Structure 1
Amino acid sequence: MKTTLKNIAIGLMLSFTGLFWSCEDDDSVSKPVITDLEIGIDNSRTAYVGSDLHVEAEIVAEGKIDIITIEIHREEGSEDEIAVEYDEFQGLLNTTFHEHVDIPAETVPGEYHFHLTVTDQGGNQTTVEEDITIEALNDDEAPTISVTSSPESGQSFSSGETITIEGTVTDNSSLAGLLVALVKESDEISDDDVTGSNTSIIVMLHTHDFENEASHTFSASIEVGAEYDNNMEPAPIEGDNAWASGNYYILIKSKDANGNWAVSEHYPVTITL
């Protein structure tokens, strides 16, 4: 009987000790860490009315990410506020946060305060703040697309071969987007409908990140038969855009911060599987 009671006592002591250390460990979880924050193209800290704002940061959360929020507002008490929540990073210990925040067309230009907040699953929270400028653009001039290297017209590509096109895009104010797509001719997709979200095209390159606001050199490529495309979030090449023998063309599109679009000519290629 004494032995049994002694064992129970030891067990309780170990249980309480474990509970103590568990609580101590919970209390010692560090707050999320946010580093290498970039706001705006070329880290300009500038956004444009009716466009989107590039935001990128490295995030480490020992307690695992729960929610990430961005708030953009003027002085306290102002009703001019943009707020966005991101929950797709839940459960991650670290991530490269890369998003584009829409700046509504009705936004009043001026000086704003930017807040990026990371909350972990234990409720620990870290916020970084920056001053940014939101500007209005009076600009109706589209970017310029210059192709320096492309496949020969109608050139044939087989499985395992790589299709590549290179060039530059420039703008008089600020570049905001670039898309290079491989489009099947028989799908009869209009140039307006060639977008990063169109599941019938094969994305060779899709980016909102540029060397600087006015000029960017690009190289876009895709291997015939590749399992995934080169979208900002690579997607499987299957279903509507599955590889098939036939006539295709490469199309390049670029927009500026005021929403002016430039569209290239078609660069025909043939796929033979």
Structure 2
Amino acid sequence: MKTKFYIPMICLLAVCSFTFLSCDSDDDSNDTTKPLIDLLEPEEGQELKIGAETGVHFEMDLSDDVMLKSYKIEIHNNFDHHSHSRAVGETVAFSFNKTYDLTGQKTAHVHHHDIIIPANATPGDYHLMVYCTDAAGNETYVARNIVLSLTADDDHDHDHEE
């Protein structure tokens, strides 16, 4: 008779233990909110100087409700392939693809000059894509149309406070 009482009690204890151990307040698997990107520079349609001695002024603010993980910058050409003219000399379509770690940050102000456009980059229309991923794997992105140009203004009048 005692055996019949112990089996249900052991089962109940096992279920309760599993339930309490499964509830982890630090679990970010319920995080479905995508991070936010406020891309300040470069602006939509901005012309960027080919062969400039300094890198492209890149600035943005990132935030997440729980925790950020990383951001990636990608630049690739957006040529229409209908042009019948050729650039003088050898040029190559410019591309950039780099991922940066943000582990342990809930917000980040990003300001750098890592994007260097070489002198042999092909002038024309390009896409600049910024992807941001949070610790739970939610991803958002911002896309900008930019133009690489030999005649773009090389000024960047801004503070270099970080």
* Deviation sequence 1:222-273 (CA, Å, 0-9, x none): xxxxxxxxx745xxxxxxxxxxxxxxxxxxxxxxxxxxxxxxxxxxxxxxxx
Provide the identity percentage.
Answer: 23
What is the aligned partner in structure 1 of residue 124 from structure 2? 110
Higher RCO structure (Cα 8 Å, ≥6 apart): 2
Q: Distance in 2 between matches of 1:14 and 1:209?
A: 58
**Helix, strand or coil for the counterpart of 2:29?**
helix
What is the aligned partner in structure 1 of residue 88 from structure 2? none
Q: Distance in 2 between matches of 1:39 and 1:19?
A: 44
* Deviation sequence 1:163-222 (CA, Å, 0-9, x none): xxxxxxxxxx4423xxxxxxxxxxxxxxxxxxxxxxxxxxxxxxx626xxxxxxxxxxxx
Q: How many angstroms does 1:97 deviate by? A: 1.8
Which amino acid counterpart does residue 60 of structure 1 have in structure 2?
S
Q: How many angstroms does 1:134 deviate by? A: 1.3
Residue of structure 2 aligned with 1:73, choices 65, 76, 98:
76
Q: Distance in 1 between matches of 2:142 and 2:67?
A: 18
What is the aligned partner in structure 2 of residue 49 from structure 1? 50
**Bigger share in strand:** 1
Distance 1:79 1:102, change over 3 A: closer
Task: Report how many residues are paired.
Answer: 145
Q: Does 1:209 align with 2:158?
A: yes
Native 8 Å contact 1:29 1:62 kept in 2: no
**Helix, strand or coil for the counterpart of 1:26?**
coil
Alignment of 1:86-235 (within 5 A): 86-87=100-101, 89-100=102-113, 101-137=115-151, 173-176=153-156, 209=158, 232-233=161-162
What is the aligned partner in structure 2 of residue 82 from structure 1? 96
Which amino acid counterpart does residue 75 of structure 2 have in structure 1?
I
Q: Distance in 2 between matches of 1:134 and 1:53?
A: 11
Q: How many angstroms does 1:79 deviate by? A: 5.0
Q: Distance in 2 between matches of 1:99 and 1:111?
A: 22
Q: TM-score, normalising length from structure 1? A: 0.44
Which amino acid counterpart does residue 120 of structure 2 have in structure 1?
E
Q: TM-score, normalising length from structure 2? A: 0.68
Consecutive unaligned residues of structure 2, counting only runs of 5 or more, are 82-91
Distance 1:25 1:17, change over 3 A: farther
Which amino acid counterpart does residue 69 of structure 2 have in structure 1?
D
Q: How many angstroms does 1:81 deviate by? A: 1.3
Native 8 Å contact 1:62 1:93 kept in 2: yes
Q: How many angstroms does 1:18 deviate by? A: 5.4
Consecutive unaligned residues of structure 1, counting only runs of 5 or more, are 139-172, 177-207, 211-230, 234-273
